[in-house]
Structure 1
Amino acid sequence: MTATPLPTDGSGYLLYHSIGMYPGKREAMAKAFADFSHLWAALDDGQWMQALTLRARFIDLWRDLIDAEPGTLTSAENVTTALYSVVGSLPEKRLKGKTLLVAGDCFPSLHFLLAGLAPRLGFTLKTVPLRVGESWVRDEDMLEAWDESVGVALLTFVTSTSSHRSDVARLIAHGRKMGSLVGVDITQGAGLVPYSVKETYADFTVSTTLKWLCGTPGAGILHMQPELIAACSPELRGWFSQENIFSWDLDAFQYASDARRFDHGTPSVLACAGSVPALEWHAGQDQTALLAQNRKLGAMIIAETDKLGLDLVTPREDDRRGGSLMVRLPETIDGAGLIDRLRTIGVFTDCRGPIMRLSPGIVTTPEGIDALFRHLRDTEGLGR
């Protein structure tokens, strides 16, 4: 079997479900980190003001992205700590003796957190399972499991395992009828599939700047609606949680009046600074065009998958999925070995067990998709 190597231009880059890329990312990040090094190493007293200005820029770019009002969004080290800040802040009546509802295809890290918190905070974690033989939790199964005992529900906007996109508006409307608080993890859709906190009006939203937004690790976010912020008292708190972060009176701690109360110790400013170039690049793009390009390449993947007779474990309809396409490989195929061979021809993807995840973004091209499927057609046990 022979294959023509691809140029090292990202044509075959299909890992936007993990780390996003954009033209000039290396140079932009290098400059951002170099600039930060200069300001942080300067022999003066301006470091903190400049660093916090960069963090404020990060927060403002995120606010613009999801239509958030000033004072309702802050940074977090990751989605898990953001969720912990929420759950550890809610009034006791919201959780104790109640159910916290999640889907069985939520991001595992969040489930690990909630399972550990349930005994201490006195709630029951209810996980809606996937139906036998299916690849995502159906919205109707979430609705059926969602009764008035649910104090909080955590929805997954787009799943990392099947790219299924939930009908967030429908689910939140049901949650309102049940008297539940509703949060949404938008990690796998943010930056590609439009999401507005004004339109959905979820009580809280968590995400990261990785994936379609092309940012760095450590640059997560938490958004919360203003009326809920005032009712929350985060147990994960510190000097940055205060209205005046420079108050050192040990007996006069006072939460900030806005989303800053969900801060705690010194924030991960460097991750925010490193992600600002990606967010600025993204803000300057035609968002409709970004999604259209993904859909065009996604249609190619679906067509080629069908020709090979492989199972697509992602919804086919554009409005029911995120930006990724997941394909089930035959049991006879060594997924890790296949990924290694694809790497040698400039095609980058991954497998979770037998599931190959293909996520085309701005640097991916039709030529990259062609190279992927030429290799798959030539792979013993796959080609027809």
Structure 2
Amino acid sequence: MTAAAALFELPEGGPYLLSHSVGALPRAARARLAAAVLDPWATKGSDAWGDWLGAIDDFRAVLAGLMGGRMADYCPQPNLSAGLFRLLSALPPEPGRDILLASDQSFPSIGFAMGALERLGYRLELVPGDPGAIATWAQAIRPGVAAVVAMHVHSNSGVVAPIGEIAAQAKAAGAISIVDVAQSVGILPIDLPGWGVDAAIGSCVKWLCGGPGAGWLWADPALTERAEPIEVGWFSHADPFAFDIRDFRYAPDARRFWGATPSIAPYALATAAIVTIGGIGVSEVLAHNRRLIAQVADRTGDRWFAPDRTGFGGTLCIAADEAVETALRTAGCRIDRRGPVLRLSFHIYNDEAEADLVGQVLAGL
């Protein structure tokens, strides 16, 4: 076991190749949960709120350190769909600008959240074609589009979208751009301000190994300044502890998207995970992932997938029948399936022996 792998608790059995779904538990998470949530609760009761809100600030700070921008531009969310709904429903209405665009290969929950906004007068358009080609988006982005929501990495194919170019196209058309980084954060380098997007949504459960429930949004300050969320609560207030029911004022930063009484534990756990991944380095996680994929490719050639994975995320998405799935599972591999596609991911805690096992199984079929 490598030093990096020793930082995680891995499920028993064969190779755990499901980081695209749920990353392994960092060993530091248990102590972080106790120190940030349980110990203050046990010793201070109601007075633990100071510690708990400090844990949220820590979470926002490590997100900023990982993806750029200011801590003030990040806001915790229960999940991606909630964050997306809060962002889109906060846009000032513009006559003649009512189209919401997303790829038809987006994660379904994203489409569901966008479709519900038709009740506010929007129209959802799902863009067909290759989401990794700027031509696909350029044909769809036009006057009348209010927002473009693009996945950085697509969960069923691993395809990476050209986010910077999409953001530029959206800006030229007068639309805002939002990127979903759920399948890329922790495995690919991300620079949210550098991309030129207006906002981003993400979670920590996959490559960041942060567990469920720690969603978040990032909003460029220019967008935040004009956004007026309709789903608010006392933590959306500029002064949550003012307790004046007749006086609501939006928080001056991304916290205006927060809502009511927040959860704390998911963000404390996720903070430990982000610190762990940050200590290893996303660049090293990616390089390790590419080394293991190349090792599989050495055994299989291009029979199962294109060996050059530089234009893809971290997940091997293999079009394969049940015989291939059965062979991999019989060998102990923890994988999953989405329709005709088998998905398997190599993280920092996977090793050469596991990659060799996958390559051996695929080469023998």
Task: Give runs of ≥4 in structure 1 deviating > 6 Å.
Answer: 7-11
Q: 2 CA distance for matches of 1:179 and 1:68?
A: 23
Report 1:210-359 matches (<5 A): 210-306=205-301, 309-310=303-304, 312=305, 317-330=308-321, 333=323, 335=325, 337-338=326-327, 340-342=329-331, 345=332, 347-359=333-345
Q: Deviations over 1:32-68 (max 9, x none)?
A: 2333222212255531001111111011000111111
Change (3 A) 1:363 1:189: same
Letter in 2 for 1:117: L
Aligned-pair distance for 1:354? 2.5
Post-superposition offset of 1:8: 6.7
Letter in 1 for 2:341: I
Aligned to 2:120: 121
CA offset digits 1:1-21 (Å, max 9, x no partner):
xxxxxx977872211111123
In the alignment, which residue of structure 2 is the partner of 1:151?
Answer: 146
The one-letter code sitting in structure 1 at the alignment partner of 2:43 is A
| 2:17 alignment counterpart | 14
Alignment partners' CA distance in 1, 2:111 and 2:11: 38
CA deviations on 1:280-339 (whole Å, 9 max, x unpaired) are 1122123322211111112223344446x33x3xx6544311111111113x5384x556
What is aligned with 1:66?
A: 67
Q: Amino acid of the residue matched to residue 330 of structure 2?
A: R
Identity level (%): 28
SS at match of 1:93: coil
Change (3 A) 1:54 1:74: same
Q: Which structure's relative contact order is higher, taking Cα pairs within 8 Å and 6+ residues apart?
A: 1
User: SS at the partner of 1:251?
Assistant: coil
Q: Distance in 2 between matches of 1:324 and 1:353?
A: 15
Note the residue ranges of structure 1 that are not aligned, 5 or more in a row: 1-6
Provide the TM-score with structure 1 as the length reference.
0.86
What code does the residue aligned with 2:249 have? Q
- Partners of 2:330 and 2:230 in 1: CA distance: 48
RMSD: 2.2
Q: What SS class does the counterpart of residue 83 from structure 1 fall into? A: helix
What's the secondary structure of 1:153's corresponding residue? strand
Residues in 2 aligned to 1:203 and 1:177: alpha-carbon distance in whole angstroms: 13
Q: How many equivalent pairs are there?
A: 355
When normalised by structure 2's length, the TM-score is 0.90
SS for the counterpart of 1:223 is strand
2:95 aligned with 1:103: no
Alignment pair present for 1:92 and 2:93: yes
- In structure 2, the residue corresponding to 1:179 is in which secondary structure? coil
Match in the other structure for 1:3: none
Instruction: Name the aligned partner's letter for residue 260 of structure 1.
Output: R
Q: Which moved more, 1:363-372 or 1:255-264?
A: 363-372
Residue 350 of structure 2 is aligned with which of 340, 364, 367?
Answer: 364
Q: Distance in 1 between matches of 2:13 and 2:277?
A: 17
